[in-house]
Amino acid sequence: MNQLEALKQFTTVVADTGDFQQLAQYQPRDATTNPSLILKAVQKPEYAPLLQATVARWRGQPLDELIDRLLVRFGCEILAIIPGRVSTEVDARLSFDTSATVARAERLVELYQAEGIHIDRVLIKIASTWEGIRAAEQLERRGIHTNLTLLFSFCQAVACAQAKVQLISPFVGRIYDWYKKQAGAQWDEAAMAGANDPGVRSVREIYNYFKHFGIPTEVMGASFRNVGQIIALAGCDLLTIAPELLAQLAASEAPLQRALDPEAARAMDITPVQYDEPGFRFALNEDAMATEKLAEGIRNFCADTRKLEQLVLVQ
């Protein structure tokens, strides 16, 4: 049994890519996309016809609608390959506008439904800002399931749980990046690997809290930099993994064991917490890493959405 097969015993494996032609060989249940991944895919020659056909079919529509239709087209192609759900992201420029996020999410779902896709096969990705979490809360009440992304802190995770969102995506690799950059020459890669990786520790804390209190929100580790981070989170509800790392797991037959255990989490001594808006904003502000990475992540997704718009405009 290779490591990918072993991992699937404990964890739902999700592919983190817009390049759907790579999916079938790894047999993930779900898949996640974001503006950066879609931008990367549409610049490949094999996806040029898909971009051209989508723009040609809906030419004359507003630019934001063209982008949504492109995202949904990729999502539909992915759903033709996988048995589970695809995550599609709301424009990150709406990250601080609750009502606009709700409206855009509803449109994405309507576009999927027009293509014959059941609502339960779509997760709407929204940045884990206070406004984004409030939007997700409204959407969940309407039966539209959400994936709260750009999540770097415990307070974001707890606020999402309070809002009863379907799934959260704590970002392992970007947390690791921040701490490694802060440490500079003092960073000890070996000492900070595996269970000691700061990104791994963050997800483990969230997972243990959710399982201890029986919180149904799914925890999906995301943004991995190496296979060691994935192995250290075996047992997490889901892990979304880039094709390059899926290939590494599939190529290795080294032992892989469950690292996160719901039974162990239930036996832990954990204090419950609650966040209102002032408490959330203060807790997030106190976490320099989460504050910086959330802002940076939104900026980067916005920049890639603008690049995607430029590609659409020149068709």
In the chain (315 residues long), the average pLDDT of successive 10-residue segments reads 98 97 95 96 95 96 97 98 98 98 98 98 98 99 98 98 98 98 98 98 98 98 98 98 98 98 98 98 98 98 98 95
Closest CA to 73 of 106, 103, 115: 115
The fold of 3-313 is TIM Barrel (3.20.20)
Give yes or no: 125 in active site.
yes
Q: What angle separates helix 130-141 from helix 154-162, to the nearest 10 degrees?
A: 30
Q: What is the pTM of this model?
A: 0.98
Q: Which distant-in-sequence residues (6+ apart) come within 8 Å of 183 by Cβ?
A: none
Domain ranges of the chain: 3-313
For 268: left if phi > 0, alpha if psi spans -120 to 50, otherwise beta; the answer is: beta
Q: Which of 125, 180, 181, 307 is catalytic?
A: 125
Question: How do residues 193-202 score in pLDDT, each as one tens digit?
Answer: 999 999 999 9
